[in-house]
C-alpha cells in the first residue's frame, strides 16, 4: 500500500520491529536485575533510583549520544534499538520488583518448605504470580516504545515517524495525521495483545463475571 509517496506496510513493519524488540530485550535484562533488587536492599536502593533517572533522559539526546557510546554510524538503527532498550529496562525493573513484592510471604514459605531453591522458586512460583504486574509494565513499555520510535525520524530511523517529518516539510497535515493515527493503532493492537497474553498466563486474574450480587430479599 503506497500513500504520500511511501510504502506504508514496510514502514509499519519496521516500526513494529524497532518498537517491540527493545521491549522484549528490556524484559530479559530486567528480570535478573529486578530479582536482584528484590532480594537485596542495597541493590534496590541503587537500581530503582538509577532506572528512574534513565527514563528522564530526553529521547532525542539519547539517540544522538548512542553513536558515540557504541561506535556506530549516526543513521544506524542499532542506535534507536539500544536507546529504546534502555527506556524499557528503566520501566520494567520496577515492574519486576513490584510484581515480586506482590507475592504473599506465605506462598514463598510454602515453596521453600516444598524444597524449591531460589531459582526454582522464582521460575515456578514467583514469576507466575507476578504476571499481572509484569504485563501491566509490558503494556506501558510497549506503548511508550511505539511513540518513541517516531522521534528517531529526526535522525533518519523513525519508520512511521518519517511521515511526520515529511509532512512538516511539505506542510501536509493529512500525512502528519495519518502517521499519528497509524502509530496509535499499532500501539493499541500490541497493548491488546499483551492483555491477551496476561489472561492466558494468569487466568486466575480475570474478573469473575459470573458472580453477581443476590437480588433476593429475605423477610
Q: Rounded to an integer, what distance in angstroms lies between the CA atom of residue 160 and that of residue 152?
A: 10
- Helices 127-151, 8-39: inter-axial angle, 10-degree rounding: 140
pLDDT by residue (tens digit) across 11-54? 888 889 999 999 999 999 999 999 999 989 999 999 999 988 88
pLDDT value for 219: 33
Q: Which CATH number fits domain 2-204: 3.60.15.10, 1.10.3720.10, 3.40.50.20, 3.50.50.60?
A: 1.10.3720.10
Size of the chain in residues: 219
For 158-181, b/e burial (b = at least 16 CB within 10 A) is bbbbbbbbbbeeeeeeebbebbbe
More confident residue, 94 or 10: 94
Average pLDDT, the chain: 83
Which residue's entry shows cell 517516531?
A: 150
Three-point CA angle 174, 179, 185, nearest 5°? 120
Q: Cell for 219?
A: 423477610
Which residues are registered as beta bridge partners of 2? 7
Q: Could you tell me the pLDDT band of residue 214, with boundaries at 50, 70 and 90? A: very low
Residue ranges per structural domain of the chain: 2-204
- pLDDT, tens digit, for every residue of 58-107? 887 888 888 888 888 877 888 888 999 999 999 999 999 999 998 888 88
CA distances, 8 to each of 22, 78, 177 (Å): 22, 22, 14
Measured distance CA(113)–CA(122) in Å, rounded: 14
Amino acid at each position: 500500500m503506497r500513500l504520500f509517496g511511501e510504502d506504508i506496510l514496510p514502514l509499519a513493519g519496521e516500526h513494529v520491529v524497532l518498537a517491540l524488540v527493545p521491549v522484549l530485550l528490556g524484559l530479559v535484562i530486567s528480570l535478573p536485575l529486578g530479582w536482584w533488587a528484590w532480594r537485596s536492599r542495597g541493590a534496590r536502593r541503587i537500581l530503582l533510583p538509577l532506572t528512574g533517572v534513565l527514563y528522564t533522559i530526553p529521547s532525542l539526546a539519547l539517540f544522538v549520544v548512542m553513536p558515540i557510546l557504541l561506535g556506530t554510524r549516526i543513521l544506524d538503527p542499532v542506535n534507536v534499538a539500544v536507546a529504546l532498550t534502555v527506556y524499557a529496562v528503566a520501566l520494567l525493573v520496577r515492574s519486576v520488583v513490584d510484581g515480586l513484592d506482590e507475592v504473599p510471604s506465605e506462598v514463598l514459605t510454602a515453596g521453600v518448605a516444598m524444597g524449591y531453591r531460589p531459582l526454582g522458586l522464582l521460575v515456578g512460583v514467583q514469576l507466575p504470580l507476578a504476571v499481572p504486574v509484569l504485563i501491566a509494565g509490558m503494556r506501558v513499555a510497549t506503548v511508550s516504545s511505539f511513540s518513541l520510535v517516531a522521534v528517531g525520524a529526526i535522525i533518519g530511523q523513525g519508520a512511521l515517524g518519517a511521515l511526520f517529518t515529511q509532512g512538516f516539510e511539505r506542510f501536509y497535515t493529512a500525512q502528519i495525521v495519518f502517521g499519528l493515527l497509524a502509530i496509535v493503532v499499532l500501539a493499541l493492537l500490541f497493548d491488546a495483545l499483551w492483555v491477551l497474553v496476561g489472561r492466558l498466563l494468569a487466568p486466575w486474574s480475570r474478573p469473575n463475571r459470573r458472580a453477581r450480587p443476590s437480588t433476593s430479599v429475605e423477610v
